């Protein structure tokens, strides 16, 4: 695989049409995979930046050439160029001279100005790309921040005008979310002298910021924080149903996702009882939060729908993603593993890819139990037991940090 020397510069120009049409056919820098890569991983990870999500200069590309050794650059002459272009905006400000008594204040103000500037520019260009490229397809995707629904027609019908690939679908959902998060930020910035409170807004309310206001490192840090929150609710759920000892007995020796047996999960069915006619809102919120689902401003019925539908949705989504898995970037796999409560710390591109595929295979095995035991309802209906087994699987994954 070959990468053009001007990729990094071009990535920051916010021209999404050019970025998406970018081809690596005329490249001249050779890079190779990690020596630890298994022989069956023959496809190099893509370095195309599908969308300007973060305000780091180098964007997604820096993750391929950093200290995790995802790809090693053979051409030593480009080492200095790599170091110069892989620095984020925050590190660029460290190089400037902010001496004097007001130096720290000037540095912070300059940094915040750049963050807001890049965030607004990113949102504007996201809007242009959405309007010109995604809007004709957006009407068919009913999925939102609160509702997970796939298109009703064939998802991968490439001959259809309404064909949606993974990144298009991701961009539509992300932009719709950004529009909502931009509202409170715009209101805050319209308040006189609100600039002085902006550092606190950015630090304590990162979830109420559009994507362009965050570096990738900040996104990963939020993933880690939310995983600790999921761990708390997952532990609380197992304790409530008195499943801790049995889970430890059945799964105490697991070291990876491959060690989990669907039949062992099935053994917990009779002890994990969810009666939706009597279940309390507090219990529903605990389950949803253990899955990573938002519960803010959700009715009881919506919480029930999330509990019932999250597992089947993740299973169906995983099947569709596998069809275009070689187009996914390093950051895509990080986000996908996080959504499934799987750990990605210290894993390179190929290890995350393999982990995702093993997880998808495990879900198919859980679904197969439905068919064998006759628990599967008519086509289009939710599974009777799969959603419970998925919740248990999620709790096991979190408990043992798989």
> 236-283 pLDDT, tens per residue?
999 999 999 999 999 988 999 999 999 999 888 888 888 888 889 999
Q: Is there a contact between 146 and 156 (Cβ–Cβ < 8 Å)?
A: no
Name the band, by pLDDT with cuts 50, 70 and 90, for residue 92. low
- Joined tokens for residue 290: 């253990």
**How many beta carbons lie within 10 A of that of residue 387, not counting itself?**
20
Task: Lowest mean pLDDT of 258-267, 354-363, 364-373, name the range.
Answer: 364-373
Tokens 């950051």 belong to which residue?
A: 331
Classify strands 71-73 and 2-3 as parallel, antiparallel or unpaired.
unpaired
Cα within 13 Å of Cα(136), Cβ side? 6
State pTM to two decimals. Answer: 0.74
Considering only residues 126 and 47, tell me which one the structure prediction assigns the higher pLDDT: 126
Across the beta sheet with 2-3, the strand order is 2-3, 29-33, 71-73
C-alpha dihedral sign at 42, 11, 121, 93? positive
Classify strands 71-73 and 29-33 as parallel, antiparallel or unpaired.
antiparallel
Q: Can you give the pLDDT at residue 195?
A: 75
**How many beta carbons lie within 10 A of that of residue 294, not counting itself?**
12
- Please return the burial class of 87, using the count of CB atoms within 10 Å of its CB with bins 0-12, 13-18 and 19+: middle
H-run or E-run covering 47 = none
């Amino acid at each position: 695989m070959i990468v053009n020397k001007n990729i990094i510069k071009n990535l920051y120009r916010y021209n999404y049409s050019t970025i998406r049409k970018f081809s690596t056919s005329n490249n001249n820098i050779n890079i190779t995979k990690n020596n630890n890569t298994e022989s069956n991983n023959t496809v190099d990870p893509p370095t195309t930046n599908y969308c300007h999500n973060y305000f780091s200069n180098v964007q997604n590309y820096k993750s391929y050439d950093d200290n995790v050794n995802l790809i090693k650059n053979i051409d030593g002459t480009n080492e200095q160029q790599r170091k110069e272009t892989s620095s984020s905006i925050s590190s660029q400000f460290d190089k400037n001279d902010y001496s004097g008594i007001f130096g720290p204040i000037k540095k912070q103000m300059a940094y915040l100005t750049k963050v807001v500037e890049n965030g607004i520019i990113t949102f504007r260009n996201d809007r242009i790309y959405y309007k010109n490229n995604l809007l004709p397809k957006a009407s068919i995707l009913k999925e939102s921040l609160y509702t997970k629904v796939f298109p009703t027609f064939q998802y991968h019908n490439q001959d259809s005008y309404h064909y949606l690939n993974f990144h298009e679908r991701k961009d539509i959902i992300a932009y719709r979310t950004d529009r909502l998060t931009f509202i409170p930020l715009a209101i805050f910035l319209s308040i006189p002298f609100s600039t002085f409170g902006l550092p606190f807004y950015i630090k304590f309310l990162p979830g109420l910021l559009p994507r362009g206001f965050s570096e990738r490192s900040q996104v990963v840090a939020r993933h880690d924080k939310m995983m600790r929150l999921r761990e708390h609710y997952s532990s609380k759920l197992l304790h409530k149903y008195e499943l801790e000892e049995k889970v430890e007995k059945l799964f105490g020796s697991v070291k990876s996702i491959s060690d989990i047996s669907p039949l062992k999960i099935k053994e917990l069915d009779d002890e994990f009882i969810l009666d939706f006619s009597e279940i309390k809102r507090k219990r529903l919120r605990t389950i949803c939060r253990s899955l990573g689902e938002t519960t803010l401003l959700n009715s009881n019925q919506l919480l029930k729908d999330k509990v019932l539908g999250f597992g089947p949705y993740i299973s169906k989504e995983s099947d569709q993603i596998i069809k275009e898995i070689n187009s996914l970037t390093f950051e895509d796999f990080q986000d996908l593993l996080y959504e499934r409560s799987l750990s990605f710390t210290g894993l390179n591109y190929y290890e995350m890819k393999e982990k995702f595929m093993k997880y998808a295979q495990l879900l198919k095995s859980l679904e197969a139990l439905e068919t064998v035991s006759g628990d599967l309802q008519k086509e289009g209906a939710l599974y009777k037991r799969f959603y419970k087994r998925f919740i248990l699987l999620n709790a096991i994954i979190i408990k043992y940090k798989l």
